[in-house]
Amino acid sequence: MRSIFVVAAATILTACASQSTAPAPAAPAAAAPAAEKKAPQCWNGDAGAFQAVGAKAVISGVAVECKPTSDGKSAQWMSAKH
């Protein structure tokens, strides 16, 4: 039983080692648009969707607001100020 695994592993390694490498990718097109940076969002499990920064919701009876984190890369639900 153990020899079957050894033979299978050797076969897989041999097959992977004998394959040729993929050709180098072509140079990217100069006219390609830059990826647009998405604004941070908060996940609303009740709605089943992401909510934009500034959106307000009530979770378990607590009013919350989607606010950006200090680094500005993401957002989180924080208690809303009345």
Average the pLDDT over 67-75 and give the result: 92
Instruction: Name the residue range of residue 53's domain.
Output: 40-82
For the chain, the domain total comes to 1
* Assigned domain for 1 exists: no
How far is it, in rounded angstroms, from Cα 29 to Cα 64? 44
Digit-coded pLDDT (tens) for 5-62: 677 666 766 655 555 666 666 666 555 555 667 889 999 888 889 999 999 998 888 8
* Assigned domain for 46 exists: yes
* Assigned domain for 65 exists: yes
* Assigned domain for 29 exists: no
* Assigned domain for 14 exists: no
How far is it, in rounded angstroms, from Cα 58 to Cα 75? 17
Q: Residue 69: what residue type?
A: T
